Structure 1
Amino acid sequence: MFQTQNSIHCKHYSIEILADILSLPKRAIEARLSKGELKADPYTGLISSEQVEHLPELQSFKNSIWEQEQSIKPVRKYNLVELFAGGGGLALGMEQAGLESVFLNELDKYACQTLRHNRPHWNVVEGDISNIDFKIIKENVDILTGGFPCQAFSYAGKSLGFEDTRGTLFFEMARAINELQPKVFMAENVRALLTHENGKTLETIKNVIDELGYELVDPKVLKAIFYKVPQKRERLILVGIRKDFAKKVQFIWPSPYQRIMTLADAFYKGELYNSDVPVSEGQLYPKRKQDILKYVPQGGYWRDLPDTLQREYMQGSYFLSGGKTGMARRLSLGEPSLTLTTSPAQKQTERCHPIETRPLQVREYARIQTFPDSWEFKGSMNAAYKQIGNAVPVNMAAALGRALVRLLNDIEKI
């Protein structure tokens, strides 16, 4: 069994795990080691916690109240509407936090089949969000969530308000908020939204949220590895509180879990799962690609190949600048996975199994996103990969869900 040693009580960190915690490239930690700013054990290569525990990221582990947050429960039933629901990662996490889904919208027919199959009682409405009249929802909506796909807005001569976002999927989410008037909403998106169009896109979104009568909590990029997810995924989270409550409550971001989960935690029986990962369907490599990737070590990529194979595999890209670290990439059992994409075998974002020379299988993909093994994906194998790759990791969604339940409980006291 592959063991990991990186709890908050642990005395040492690997270079890779420390780099993940500090959001630094591995070479930055190696540079500190070579300068003598950090010292590694000569036998294990590990760095003692005393050298780094003063850093804010390590302090957040030390001061975590994750265990206390597990006990947060809704003081009454809170109704949730979810838009752009996908294969259910966010909705499942919200359910684990105690929120009740009363309406879920999704365009992709296979994702809708997945949602209906796993939760027959959920009200899954399939179709284009722009065709939905949200007034059909008769329940009082406490919270609205969703990950709207980010399209560019046009800025020429605009006042950057609600009407200016028409034709974008954010506009549809804003329309739902306007019609349903939830007490709280949460939107998630890619980190790049922070800097999209030099920050103009986010500024437009902030203006619209204000116009709708909501106070936006300072947006934050959350790293999934801090929330019991064995994956280096980052998501930008936007939380809005209706202005009649906003001045009387405070949203508190979830605390990090006690340690960083790795691929070993995802694939083997232990803290995350009570059994090894089941065998499932998965893509396969063409024979020549498999022959080449056999030479890549755990955690390695194309530069670890012999030069003749580098040239064959990379072709014209061999001569281009840039690291291209996703190419011919093999994952490592001792680290979290790289961010999953909608396919495990794309040339630019290779996700090769750490030990076997093959792409990750569907259930391995699902475990890296912390879906339970009982959650079945409908549609073809490629449809399953797409649903999983686009999902919010379930454990991160649950941590956010508990923070949102705490906020709703505080609003309920007013």
Structure 2
Amino acid sequence: MNLKAAVLENKLTSLKTREITEIQNNINIDTKELMALSLFSGGGGLDLGFSAAGFKVGCSTDIDSFSCQTLILNNGRKIYYKNTHSIIADITEISAKYLLKKAELNHDEIDIVLGGPPCQAFSVFGRRKGLDDPRGNLVWEYLKIIQEIRPKAFVFENVPGLKSIHNGKLFEEILTELTIGGTYTISAHSYQMAEYGIPQFRERIFIIGAKNGSIVPKMIPTHGCGAPLTLKKYRTVKEALQYLPEPGKFSSVSNHIGRKHSQRIISRYENLKFGERDTKTRINKLHPERPSFTIIVGSDKGGGKGHIHPFFPREVTPRESARMQTFPDWWEFYGTGRHIIRQVGNAVPPLFAALLAEHLRVHIFGKKKQRSYEDFIEILRLNYLQK
């Protein structure tokens, strides 16, 4: 072999080695299981969505025992959802060290912390007491866990009213505190869920912290009506409710039992137009060709209700509300009545959570290829949204 041929062969070998290494690195990046700790987990919207995107939720915690039982109930139903530690606890009385010990994890194993402290204190639907409400103070309990663990990233979810209460001063204070002395780069975006293929109008703010300095751009809307023409049409109530049998105790679909109404209420509901509000119950009749109104939670004493079904003179069942939140039918909620509707109404839609998780895997954790909306419909088995 002459010198020129030897040099060429060495270059080819070097190139192949780099290509193989790059492929291996991409595989490692794309398949690496990232560990999450979930706070204020509720009925599991964030947990389920992030699990579908390849995160492992090593520990979840909530003060509500019914929510924790829901997470336990669904453990192992899908290969990607294996949440082995669901801890009932008051976050004001525990530390990160306690959670990690219960979950048999070390703090350096946690890649991301997820959580949405109860939002009623900041909601425009509530009395907007902010930090005068004990629930508002749970914001700082979330921050306490972040400070103790120092994960690679965190997700803080809340209502958009958080930005305007106390003339925006509270929001600015929270953003400043979440940087933890410059440790985290903060990205904050408001999202209208319907613009990302969720069959429900629901606006939430997501504050993302990244230790590696990554700025996370806002996800580009994919659904809407009117211009631009590149957007897909909103997903609708009619689509969300399709293929469901009539509710009843003999239904094969879990959590699909509705309220019983008097003839007087039935008559009122029958006479309502699509989108019209009932003056007595103060809930709306859903429009079949539009996304749902925001699912209402109710107060701490209960009272959460679904909206009025577009085609039948009754309120929607918890399962029908869960459909509009993009929970799959295989996901079963523990409890009855108000316990379930609170879990459903407080949740981040799992389909949106999966899209956000995938977005963060790209922009914080270095994943190369991003799965699509249609991919996650398949992964979550949202058969009613398949086309």
Q: Does the alignment pair 1:201 with 2:170?
A: yes
Amino acid across the alignment from 2:131: F
Aligned mate of 1:107, from 63, 78, 102: 63
Q: Does the alignment pair 1:388 with 2:353?
A: no
Q: Which has the higher contact order (CA 8 A, sep 6+)?
A: 1
Across the aligned residues of Structure 1 and Structure 2, the Cα RMSD in angstroms comes to 3.1
SS at the partner of 1:398? helix
Q: Equivalents in 1 of 2:53, 2:306: separation in Å?
A: 33
Aligned mate of 1:260, from 234, 254, 268: 234
Tell me if the contact between 2:179 and 2:186 (Cα under 8 Å) persists in the aligned partners. Answer: no
- What residue number does 2:319 align with? 363
- What residue number does 2:94 align with? 132
SS at the partner of 1:104? strand
- What residue number does 2:116 align with? 147
Pairing 1:59-74 to 2, within 5 Å after superposition: 74=30
Q: Equivalents in 2 of 1:98, 1:220: separation in Å?
A: 23
**1:142-169 superposed Cα distances (whole Å, 9 cap, x missing partner):** 1011001245337xxxxxxxxxx99921
Amino acid across the alignment from 2:235: M
- What residue number does 1:250 align with? 215
Q: Equivalents in 2 of 1:366, 1:188: separation in Å?
A: 19
Q: Does the alignment pair 1:219 with 2:185?
A: no
Q: Equivalents in 2 of 1:392, 1:301: separation in Å?
A: 25
- What residue number does 1:238 align with? 207
**1:7-48 superposed Cα distances (whole Å, 9 cap, x missing partner):** xxxxxxxxxxxxxxxxxxxxxxxxxxxxxxxxxxxxxxxxxx
Pairing 1:48-59 to 2, within 5 Å after superposition: none
Pairing 1:270-349 to 2, within 5 Å after superposition: 278=253, 280-302=256-278, 313=279, 327=282, 329-342=284-297
SS at the partner of 1:217? strand
Instruction: For structure 2, list consecutive stretches of 5 or more residues without a partner in the other structure.
Output: 1-26, 77-81, 122-129, 223-231, 245-250, 369-387
Structure 1 residues 384 and 350, CA, compared in 2 at 3 Å: closer, same or farther?
A: closer
SS at the partner of 1:81? strand
**1:194-244 superposed Cα distances (whole Å, 9 cap, x missing partner):** 1011111101101211335444434211011122210000101101112xx
Q: Which is worse superposed, 287-296 or 348-357?
A: 348-357
Identical residues among aligned pairs (%): 30
Q: Equivalents in 1 of 2:92, 2:304: separation in Å?
A: 34
Tell me if the contact between 2:30 and 2:367 (Cα under 8 Å) persists in the aligned partners. Answer: no
Amino acid across the alignment from 2:168: G
SS at the partner of 1:358? coil
Deviation at 1:131, TM superposition (A): 2.1
Q: Equivalents in 2 of 1:72, 1:289: separation in Å?
A: 58
- What residue number does 1:44 align with? none
Deviation at 1:260, TM superposition (A): 1.2
SS at the partner of 2:151? coil
Tell me if the contact between 2:187 and 2:209 (Cα under 8 Å) persists in the aligned partners. Answer: no
Tell me if the contact between 1:362 and 1:385 (Cα under 8 Å) persists in the aligned partners. Answer: yes
Aligned mate of 1:185, from 133, 154, 175: 154
Deviation at 1:406, TM superposition (A): 1.2
Deviation at 1:73, TM superposition (A): 7.3
Q: TM-score, normalised by structure 2?
A: 0.71
Tell me if the contact between 1:263 and 1:337 (Cα under 8 Å) persists in the aligned partners. Answer: yes
Deviation at 1:84, TM superposition (A): 0.2
**1:328-362 superposed Cα distances (whole Å, 9 cap, x missing partner):** 5211110000000126xx99987110010000012
Number of matched residues? 301
**1:43-78 superposed Cα distances (whole Å, 9 cap, x missing partner):** xxxxxxxxxxxxxxxxxxxxxxxxxxxx99744121
Q: Equivalents in 2 of 1:262, 1:411: separation in Å?
A: 32
Q: Equivalents in 2 of 1:92, 1:166: separation in Å?
A: 24
Tell me if the contact between 2:194 and 2:200 (Cα under 8 Å) persists in the aligned partners. Answer: yes
Q: TM-score, normalised by structure 1?
A: 0.66
Amino acid across the alignment from 2:238: A
Aligned mate of 2:75, from 105, 116, 119: 119
Tell me if the contact between 2:304 and 2:338 (Cα under 8 Å) persists in the aligned partners. Answer: no
SS at the partner of 1:211? coil
Pairing 1:35-50 to 2, within 5 Å after superposition: none
- What residue number does 2:40 align with? 84
Tell me if the contact between 2:277 and 2:283 (Cα under 8 Å) persists in the aligned partners. Answer: yes
- What residue number does 1:67 align with? none
Structure 1 residues 277 and 357, CA, compared in 2 at 3 Å: closer, same or farther?
A: farther
